[in-house]
Amino acid sequence: MNLAELSIKRPIFITCVIVLMIVVGILSYKKMPVDQFPDVTFPVVFAEIIYPGASPVDVERQVSKIIEDEVSSLPGIDTVSSNNYDSVAIIVIKFRLGTDIKEAEQQVRNRINNVRNKLPKDAKEPTIRRFDPADQPIISIALNSKLDPAMLFDIANEQVKPLLERVQDVGLVRIVGGQKKEIRVIVDKKKLQDHQLSMVQVSRKIMETSKDTPIGKFDNKSNETVLRAVGEFNSLEQLRDVAVNFMGSDRSVKLSELAVVEESLVKAQRFSSING
């Protein structure tokens, strides 16, 4: 007996079977898990190194080339490339399919640590991560206010961000945009020449003066007291009074004699709009 003959002779049975299939299909469809980014592993590792103030050529020569030479001998590598921008180097290491990406990420991290002392001293600590589509933002929140831009950024960074990071299942909170405070030291080139100084000397003197330096400890019978020299600046006046050079035994050249020190905002490099 074929299906057509069974359908004619047993119409109620066939109707029940079809209704059952439809009900099971609807229930299965509603319970079917849906993921915009399925659990797929891409064998790609990124390394980002920030080198403040360096040009793309300097970034390539002093950062990217050194790291590329070090990681290129890793097993399973397909290609190694780098993108060099102002103050930033991004190295992309692609491995062959089937490579254990977690182990590959650790190997890349170890190799970069091996050449860390060859990178410029001003370069920041490398950020290494593997590519994962699920790391893309799930929620984007816009913060808008009539407050001063620097104050608004401080509120977002010091108050809003920590609250969001404590929410369960939140992996990362990143602030995009905003304008932070910055202290600008605008040096007069003619005054530098008059005092026979260079920009490097002024910059080095500011860095050396702005550090907290441990100077030892004092012990007594009941406790131990650690001593340190406080050097961090708490105001613009302290920065202006930094002695960048000495003329004779009783004459110091202060930073305020060579430059204008002012508080400003970081230059905006990207803009966004809300509701058009």
Q: What is the pLDDT of residue 133?
A: 66
Can you tell me the mean pLDDT for 66-74?
A: 90
Sign of CA dihedral 58, 60, 65, 66: positive
pLDDT per residue as tens digits for the range 165-201: 888 878 778 888 788 888 888 888 888 888 888 888 8
pLDDT at 26 over 70: yes
Please state the pTM of the whole predicted model: 0.56
Query: What does the pLDDT read at residue 36?
Result: 63
Contact criterion met (CB below 8 Å) for 172 and 135: yes
26-31 long-range contacts (CB < 8 A, ≥24 apart) are none
Confidence at residue 89, expressed as pLDDT on a 0 to 100 scale = 92
**Domains plus CATH for the chain?**
44-135 (3.30.70.1430), 181-265 (3.30.2090.10)
Which of 126-140, 188-202, 203-217 is modeled with the greatest confidence?
188-202
> What is the structure's pLDDT at 37?
59
Q: 33-47, 70-84, 89-103: which has the minimum mean pLDDT?
A: 33-47
Residue 82 has pLDDT above 60, yes or no: yes
pLDDT of 223-264, one tens digit each? 888 777 777 788 888 888 888 877 655 677 888 888 888 888
Cβ(114)–Cβ(70) below 8 Å: yes
Q: Taking 80 as the threshold, does the pLDDT of residue 121 lie above it?
A: yes
Per-chain mean pLDDT for the chain: 83
pLDDT computed for residue 247 by the predictor = 63
Reported as a single tens digit per residue, the pLDDT across 142-167 is: 888 888 888 888 898 899 999 988 88
Give residue 91's pLDDT band: very low, low, confident or very high (50, 70, 90). Answer: very high
